[in-house]
Structure 1
């Protein structure tokens, strides 16, 4: 009987479970996740340098000769119901610990190169599949705990970009967004692409970028390059270590979607980029601007973090103020809503000839929504917001 060794991490409220598996069973488990998501759960690609290839070739040779590799670490976000069953007894299997419906969210936290070597070894020598290997599972019920586990306890790796680290928990983050933000519409993913045709609809990568922006409290979020700013990494770690932080992000997203929906009640009568209310949040600059403005108001500027209790108070204030604001706008006639939105002023402001248009637009929307927040959502129109920069 294969034993499963359970340890509870009280810091992140995760279970660490180490067990032995046949290599063939492990590869089948990983392949299932690969088929579900189109990639090995966001892990960095197998290294392709000459040195790395030579080392992996040696690893393949050693595996065939019976070498025991260090444990591969997998992560999974499971439901509250499953989590309550942990720790399981010695007779439990991997299938019991991670039911099939959660395998699509399985993540390779540590061990991409070993997995690649195991695949190569199994391809040239089928007997490898019958060898035994060690596998460690990190099982949690929250996305934030998984992020914290990755950022703090898994730093001795070839550096990832922050977006690459988040892509590992990409699926569970989106699943949690859909369950915690009830007013959100369709989420377009690479597997299910689509075009935004209604308020509340966003691309999956746009939501990940909003998550990063909320953490870093910045509008300039580079999701393609390696994160070189160690202070940004520290800010991110500090935020996800607060168990209430994740709910703050979801509340900010709820406010964004509510604004998106109420602005969209104005259908417009003209043509152009900002001819109707939905156009305000059609682009990522406005969404980033709003999310970053909320984050700075609630959490504080980078390097000036507010106490946890003050964060709670400020978030509740914003929720109440924005709810009253959207309720008021929902009762406007189309003419009144059009007059309030002042899309002509927004179009004129954004029509300026400037370099780095994307950066300029994010800054403009950030300043605009800072005005809206500082005025407690009590403005006669959005003109003072659009003219803030």
Structure 2
């Protein structure tokens, strides 16, 4: 292959080596058709005969230059070279080998790549041998990020494609953390796809879509984050992932923190369940939000409130970080008897059901207040379940009632 390494710079933001290369179109096309599907985050091919891409093909016939394509070599593909301290020692021959072995994915330039492929096919079909030969012998430039991880890929794609309609943060998180689907990817925890789990979940088994919603709420410090789609919010969320997520697995810490709460609140509340024969309670609460501790707290509304509250408290330095939650929960206490405490939260949620126009959003807000009170280390309801239930409803009434 005719490949020339022109320059290299260490990208300290994403801990990857950025290399500028010059490659003959003929050589790029020999690998392009095999790498266009390597990046599961990429957009699909744009199909429009009236688009600028048809003009691009005509320009390419005449020797027009195009902007560099941006490629990546995953961290897993470089082995021990993936350490930042070693990336700068990557040799030209190693870089060329990564290209020749097709250990690449396309970060930006997918549509240009499709047009290069289509133009080659078009010229072959028309038997325009002279134009085809000249086209294939020309050079294009490519920037290659070597040793990049998944978060770096998402971050670079977002910043390279700000002029396009980006995929939502929620979709990005789903793709980024889909490897956690299944049993014991996180010890003692099973994360299920929607089709795998109905409502009959239990502590240790959680829905992936609800975990993703909660994690997004944590990143954006907003229990209603799932209703928003803003490029600015995307950038802020990816900023947090790129800053912290390079050093630790925020997603796993989030899941473990939530699971620890579910287990601990069940133990503290002695696995309380509502008495079906309690006629007085059922008269005042005819449609209870849940009937036992697990079904109270294993809901999507709870997860988004949990995530948003922890994200806010982290910014206020009221909690150190997500990884401390399991240890902090060792001091969790009920603050009253089981029946009184959990009936209280169901009565609060019944009031919300009767008074709210958007019940789901109101429930998310209530649980945001609950977890913010529960984990606020400087508050008088810190790690006290009953006091946090009372405090949450006080805050909710001030805001909504």
Task: Give the TM-score normalised by the residue count of structure 2.
Answer: 0.68
Q: Which residue of 2 aligns with 1:368?
A: 370
Alpha-carbon distance in structure 1 between the residues aligned to 2:15 and 2:318: 22
Question: What CA deviation, in whole Å up to 9, does each residue of 1:178-214 have, x standing for no partner?
Answer: 999545422428xxx4225343444555444434322
Distance 1:357 1:133, change over 3 A: farther
Alpha-carbon distance in structure 2 between the residues aligned to 1:64 and 1:348: 69
Count residues with an aligned counterpart: 350
Q: Which residue of 2 aligns with 1:259?
A: 261
Question: What CA deviation, in whole Å up to 9, does each residue of 1:36-60 have, x standing for no partner?
Answer: x4xxx24376375x8xx33111112
1:125 to partner: Cα distance: 4.6
Match of 1:218 among 212, 218, 222: 222
1:25 to partner: Cα distance: 1.1
Q: Which residue of 2 aligns with 1:289?
A: 305
Cα RMSD, aligned residues only:
4.3
Question: What CA deviation, in whole Å up to 9, does each residue of 1:101-155 have, x standing for no partner?
Answer: x87xx5x43224323423543554557996765433324455444444345x436
Q: Flag the structure with larger Rg.
A: 2
Alpha-carbon distance in structure 2 between the residues aligned to 1:99 and 1:344: 60
Q: Which residue of 2 aligns with 1:83?
A: 82
Distance 1:216 1:383, change over 3 A: closer
Alpha-carbon distance in structure 1 between the residues aligned to 2:342 and 2:136: 66
Q: Secondary structure of the residue that 2:17 maps to in structure 1?
A: strand
1:363 to partner: Cα distance: 0.7
1:99 to partner: Cα distance: 8.4
Alpha-carbon distance in structure 2 between the residues aligned to 1:263 and 1:119: 58
Match of 1:278 among 255, 273, 294: 294
Q: Which residue of 1 aligns with 2:193?
A: 188
Q: Which residue of 2 aligns with 1:61?
A: 58
1:321 to partner: Cα distance: 1.8
Alpha-carbon distance in structure 1 between the residues aligned to 2:28 and 2:358: 53
Is the 2:75–2:146 Cα contact (8 Å) retained in structure 1? yes
Is the 2:375–2:383 Cα contact (8 Å) retained in structure 1? yes
Match of 1:345 among 325, 330, 347: 347
Q: Which residue of 1 aligns with 2:127?
A: none
1:24 to partner: Cα distance: 3.8
1:274 to partner: Cα distance: 1.3
1:289 to partner: Cα distance: 0.4
Is the 1:143–1:173 Cα contact (8 Å) retained in structure 2? no
Counterpart check, 1:22 vs 2:38: no
Of residues 58-67 and 172-181 in structure 1, the stretch that sits farther from structure 2 once superposed is 172-181
1:72 to partner: Cα distance: 1.8
Is the 2:373–2:392 Cα contact (8 Å) retained in structure 1? no
Is the 1:321–1:376 Cα contact (8 Å) retained in structure 2? no
Alpha-carbon distance in structure 2 between the residues aligned to 1:73 and 1:212: 28
Q: Which residue of 2 aligns with 1:113?
A: 111
Of residues 58-67 and 238-247 in structure 1, the stretch that sits farther from structure 2 once superposed is 238-247
Is the 2:257–2:326 Cα contact (8 Å) retained in structure 1? yes
Question: What CA deviation, in whole Å up to 9, does each residue of 1:66-93 have, x standing for no partner?
Answer: 5443222234652474513635322226
Q: Which residue of 1 aligns with 2:279?
A: none
Q: Secondary structure of the residue that 2:143 maps to in structure 1?
A: strand
1:362 to partner: Cα distance: 1.2
The aligned runs of 1:68-217 (5 Å cut-off) are: 68-75=65-72, 77-79=74-76, 81=80, 83-84=82-83, 86=87, 87-92=89-94, 96=98, 106=105, 108-122=106-120, 124-125=122-123, 133-140=140-147, 142-151=149-158, 153-154=159-160, 156-160=162-166, 162-163=168-169, 167=172, 170-175=174-179, 181-188=186-193, 193-196=195-198, 197-217=201-221
Alpha-carbon distance in structure 2 between the residues aligned to 1:244 and 1:89: 28
Q: Which residue of 1 aligns with 2:240?
A: 239
Is the 1:47–1:113 Cα contact (8 Å) retained in structure 2? no
Q: Secondary structure of the residue that 2:142 maps to in structure 1?
A: strand
Is the 2:181–2:208 Cα contact (8 Å) retained in structure 1? no
Gaps of 5+ in 1: 301-309, 330-335
Is the 1:298–1:314 Cα contact (8 Å) retained in structure 2? yes
Alpha-carbon distance in structure 2 between the residues aligned to 1:94 and 1:340: 65
Q: Secondary structure of the residue that 1:363 maps to in structure 2?
A: helix
Q: Secondary structure of the residue that 1:92 maps to in structure 2?
A: helix
Distance 1:73 1:173, change over 3 A: farther
Alpha-carbon distance in structure 2 between the residues aligned to 1:338 and 1:3: 73
Distance 1:274 1:144, change over 3 A: same
Alpha-carbon distance in structure 1 between the residues aligned to 2:52 and 2:341: 64
